[in-house]
């Protein structure tokens, strides 16, 4: 069931950086299991432009300034960008923290185009990790319907199966911000792993973890500790303590094999694109799973409902490791 079969597998990250996106980015750069080969940005937590700026600055801080970053869609397929969620992710998307500016700029091509280019460069090997609204992936599928044939696997943070949504009763933000794009991604027929709120809400970073980040020798880890400060306030009413859900980094860790899904049936998933109360819901068919996880024949989408361990300690270990480990250990 583990998606990453080779050490240092090439990963393309699509993100709306974003506090928890920052953790995911740091994890993917720092994990020895994967090699981040490109980043596309989309509006969600913040604008796609700001997300690109944040991603570039973080990459520089992580010693990975050479990773290309492409600005993706500002607007979603069916609605314009609405200004993001500054009360959660801060005015600049990274908790209001002024990161040291990277001298690098985004590449000239769109995020969808960069993804297509990378799919040719790493044909059959590329793993897409998408942790924002899925607009760029939908645009790439529209531009090149042969894209899935060159992709090894796709892992997304998004949706809710049994858990409540976070922007409506049933819609999670990444899916709910662009249900039409999510529907296109779910229908594309590739090997898709959905990491929904059901598991991301159960993986929590605590204040002691944040203090450990702040005390790290690794500059990027210290910056993440600062970035999380504002985010921890937002989650206080949810968890009863200053802490945060680990939405995006859990998808990154599942993709990289750092956390292994233990309950993740391959089942029919339909995204609700109506204008009814279910708009943006990932309708996951979990009937017939009482006696154990059962895959539906021919279905390539799996929905992660449980994992082998808590992400927190592993995430801290990877992010605070003293040397950057994104460089392949062997040719």
Q: Least Å distance between CB 28 and its own copies?
A: 29
Smaller CB distance to its own copies: residue 39 or 173? Answer: 173
List the interface residues with its own copies, window 235-264 (CB under 8 A): 237-240
Q: Least Å distance between CB 289 and its own copies?
A: 8
* 178 counts as binding its own copies under rule CB under 8 A: no
Phi, psi values for residue 164, rounded to 5°: -65, 160
Q: Least Å distance between CB 102 and its own copies?
A: 37
Q: Contact at 8 Å (CB) between 18 and 45?
A: yes
- Whether 104 sits among the annotated catalytic residues: the reply is no
Q: What is the per-residue binding string for its own copies in 38-57, x denoting contact by CB under 8 A?
A: --------------------
Q: Least Å distance between CB 81 and its own copies?
A: 24
CB neighbour list of residue 291: distance below 8 Å, 6 or more residues apart: none
Q: What angle do CA 245, 140, 299 make, to 5 degrees?
A: 65
Smaller CB distance to its own copies: residue 214 or 299? Answer: 299
Length of the chain: 331
Region of residue 75 (phi > 0: left; psi between -120 and 50: alpha; otherwise: beta):
beta
Q: What angle do CA 148, 154, 155 make, to 5 degrees?
A: 165
Q: What is the per-residue binding string for its own copies in 265-294, x denoting contact by CB under 8 A?
A: ---x-x-xxxxxxx--x-xxxxxxxxx---
CB neighbour list of residue 202: distance below 8 Å, 6 or more residues apart: none
| Three-class secondary structure of residue 157 per DSSP | strand
Smaller CB distance to its own copies: residue 202 or 207? Answer: 202
Place of tokens 């769109």: 110
CA distance 225 to 147: 37
Catalytic residue among 87, 247, 296, 314: 247
C-alpha R_g of the chain: 18
Distance of CA 249 to the CA centre of its chain: 6
Among 5, 169, 211, 327, binds its own copies (CB under 8 A): 169
Instruction: Name the one range near its own copies by CB under 8 A: 24-32, 122-130, 166-174, 215-223.
Output: 166-174
Q: Least Å distance between CB 169 and its own copies?
A: 4
Q: Which residues are catalytic?
A: 247
Residues at the site binding its own copies, with contacts judged by CB under 8 A: 162-166, 169-170, 201, 237-240, 268, 270, 272-278, 281, 283-291
């Amino acid at each position: 069931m583990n998606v990453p079969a080779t050490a240092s597998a090439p990963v393309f990250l699509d993100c709306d950086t974003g506090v928890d996106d920052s953790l995911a980015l740091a994890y993917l750069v720092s994990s020895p299991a994967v090699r981040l080969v490109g980043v596309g940005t989309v509006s969600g937590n913040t604008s796609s432009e700001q997300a690109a700026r944040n991603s570039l600055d973080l990459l520089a801080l992580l010693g990975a300034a050479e990773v290309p970053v492409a600005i993706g869609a500002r607007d979603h397929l069916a609605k314009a960008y609405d200004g993001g969620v500054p009360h959660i992710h801060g005015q600049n998307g990274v908790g209001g923290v002024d990161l040291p500016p990277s001298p690098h700029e985004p590449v000239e091509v769109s995020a969808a185009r960069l993804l297509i280019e990378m799919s040719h460069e790493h044909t059959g090997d590329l793993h897409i990790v998408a942790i924002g609204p899925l607009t760029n992936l939908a645009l790439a599928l529209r531009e090149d319907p042969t894209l899935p044939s060159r992709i090894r696997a796709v892992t997304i943070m998004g949706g809710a199966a049994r858990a409540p949504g976070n922007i409506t009763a049933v819609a999670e933000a990444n899916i709910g911000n662009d249900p039409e794009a999510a529907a296109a991604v779910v229908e594309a027929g590739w090997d898709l792993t959905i990491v929904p709120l059901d598991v991301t809400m159960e993986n929590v970073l605590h204040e002691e973890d944040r203090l450990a980040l702040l005390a790290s020798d690794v500059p990027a880890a210290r910056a993440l500790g600062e970035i999380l400060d504002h985010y921890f306030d937002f989650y206080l009413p949810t968890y009863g303590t200053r802490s945060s859900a680990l939405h995006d980094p859990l998808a990154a860790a599942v993709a990289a094999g750092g956390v292994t899904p233990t309950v993740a049936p391959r089942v029919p998933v339909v995204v609700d694109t109506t204008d009814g109360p279910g708009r943006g819901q990932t309708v996951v068919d979990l009937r017939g799973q009482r006696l154990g996880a059962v895959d539906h024949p021919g279905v390539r989408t799996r929905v992660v409902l449980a994992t082998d361990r808590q992400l927190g300690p592993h995430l801290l270990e990877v992010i605070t490791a003293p040397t950057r480990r994104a460089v392949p250990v062997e040719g």
